[in-house]
Structure 1
């Protein structure tokens, strides 16, 4: 295997695989390094929601918080377009369906929040409007009578988390990318005009050294840890979130469902299973030093599983009669200010990062702008709000 490449991508989730495919399509000499297996972690463990409206967590503290989170809307809009054509460009289905999303309100206060949120989103260019009354009942007859209004965004939907990242990895490999699993980066040093990465083989082979002019960090929950290898602070907040899949049932929910007043994400898969999530926490394991231990499975919390099920059954009563098939925990990462980290690392020439926000949803946009940066081109959008150095400036 080669020891010198143009670009190293660290991480084999959706973002890393999308990066590898886009770079290989542009004929870059690339190696992707994944510490475990492709799609093993967050990208393969989430529910595949393509949320382009602001999510509940982005506005649960009020409109001031929502206004900050809305600064990521250019990434939302770009990703919506890219998801819509990604399968055709790749030549392989990613299970993408964009039949619209609804964020629900069950009282006047929540409805008022939807109107204010929608006005904010429209100011950024998102197609969204609030519906109620007979239009709501006609659009979503499966909803409970407790739902008084909903903001409708026609471009929201879902992708298949089981197949999306592996399909992109296969596409990258077909174009010549070197995809290496069980390959953990344990050191990164500057070596002249290149970066020298020490890679530990998960099968026990001797450590290898890889040289590259460009390094792209697509490491998800390990982003902060990878930053320490470069003596750079990349603050992220890891989250362990609960999800439940039901038994298959006849198709009756064509939309992606969110809620303006509680943690809820609900959709029906192409196979007919209902996928229920939305941010109910699980317990992350902690190591002896008090740091999150991502090598150990997070622990389900009974009140989260029950609370998530109650929230779903209250607004879509039919869900209460469908048996659960399995419940699991997926990990993800956000940043302290809810905006993603996207861009070059100050003082580290040729090193770029993307993480945070709605990382699965935003993966195609993250990959696109990082490819532009790696090629020395100006990105399609202003990335200043997502600058990884912004936290250092606050210290």
Structure 2
């Protein structure tokens, strides 16, 4: 039998690393286990957008869907605050730039949608306003004349997805956390008032069992499988999404840009590359059992690459003719109702979970809730709408 911990955190992405850091900062003995390498999966393969206003996928089905998605706005507001504080709190040079975000519109229907959307967001306390073309010319003159209005949110921005999670892992180590990579969870069971976690080193095959007062599932697309190990229903929907990055160019844009009429996100990294994303699909390969094989590389789709590029060029003409450095696929997880899944695992004392929605953007606020629950603190926010028990009731 291995050693005993206050908590075992499963998943070495941004969420797991921040959670381990927060537990360690609170004085807890914490083990972080990652089946591959830190930041190898979703956290390191997304475009690093910090979307605090509602994204296109949250409004494309109409205002009722937007109102439902806005129920997570308190988590957005807290994440905006936490992202701004992480570099100073951790002592890490995390690249976080909250220089503002624009959701743009090209026609009257999209402008009307923006106005209705921002009314919903302002009711929840988000600092956001609709600006006309004159306002766009003052803030973002690089946008095409086709853009007639935008929802402007000053706290939005970007973080470097390549370095944020590794930085948080270093902070967790300094806070006393233990980290094991290439370490897969084989079984989860509760015995004698604590959790038994069976682990296997994927390199040498050596097995180990540790015990813990708490288990935290922060494992993205593996959430449902891990829930099944402990007899819990944690439904998730995996998505494979396409992103591209250009060669470096001189500074052009300092904002996060998304679109009210389609899948698009644009931002420029500090080193000058333009990152293009926004939710265009890729293909998840299936295993022999017909379920997605998360160990296999997803397939890029030509139509997604072409569609994403065409939309980007339409609103940012300087991209025309600019060579792309590479395109890639990242996986993410949503829930059936598209609200986050955050809180205790139903029927499993000492087990907690967080996933779904904009998990990179909301990682700090998810982690704050999880670390508090591990320490026995009630969340400061009302988390009832994000409770996994809502699926058991259904």
Please report the TM-score for the alignment, with normalisation by the length of structure 1: 0.99
**Contact 2:2 2:209 (8 Å CA) reproduced:** no
Moved over 3 A (4+): none
User: Counterpart in 2 of 1:222?
Assistant: 222
* 134-143 or 178-187, larger mean C-alpha shift: 134-143
User: Counterpart in 1 of 2:377?
Assistant: 377
User: Counterpart in 2 of 1:208?
Assistant: 208
Query: In structure 2, what is the Cα distance between the partners aligned to 1:275 and 1:205?
Result: 39
Structure 1 residues without counterparts, runs of 5 or longer: none
Aligned 1:127-276 pairs, distance under 5 A: 127-276=127-276
Aligned 1:55-66 pairs, distance under 5 A: 55-66=55-66
User: Counterpart in 1 of 2:93?
Assistant: 93
Q: Say which SS state the counterpart of residue 28 (structure 1) adopts.
A: coil
CA deviation vs aligned residue, 1:145-182 (integer Å, no higher than 9, x gap): 11110000000000011111001111111121100001
Report deviation, 1:377. 1.3
User: Counterpart in 1 of 2:40?
Assistant: 40
CA deviation vs aligned residue, 1:187-235 (integer Å, no higher than 9, x gap): 0011111110110111123211010010000001110111110111111
**Contact 2:5 2:212 (8 Å CA) reproduced:** yes
Q: Say which SS state the counterpart of residue 346 (structure 1) adopts.
A: coil
Aligned 1:293-332 pairs, distance under 5 A: 293-332=293-332
Query: In structure 2, what is the Cα distance between the partners aligned to 1:134 and 1:116?
Result: 20
CA deviation vs aligned residue, 1:43-102 (integer Å, no higher than 9, x gap): 000000000000000010100100000000000000000000101110011100000000
Instruction: Report the number of matched residues.
Output: 394
Structure 2 residues without counterparts, runs of 5 or longer: none
User: Counterpart in 1 of 2:280?
Assistant: 280
CA deviation vs aligned residue, 1:24-56 (integer Å, no higher than 9, x gap): 111100000100000000000000000000000
CA deviation vs aligned residue, 1:235-284 (integer Å, no higher than 9, x gap): 11100000000000001111000000000000000100000000000000
Q: Say which SS state the counterpart of residue 267 (structure 1) adopts.
A: strand
Aligned CA-pair RMSD? 0.9
User: Counterpart in 2 of 1:343?
Assistant: 343
* 112-121 or 185-194, larger mean C-alpha shift: 185-194
Report deviation, 1:2. 5.0
Query: In structure 2, what is the Cα distance between the partners aligned to 1:153 and 1:135?
Result: 13
Q: Say which SS state the counterpart of residue 360 (structure 1) adopts.
A: helix
CA deviation vs aligned residue, 1:110-140 (integer Å, no higher than 9, x gap): 0000000000000000000000131111211
Query: In structure 2, what is the Cα distance between the partners aligned to 1:281 and 1:346?
Result: 32
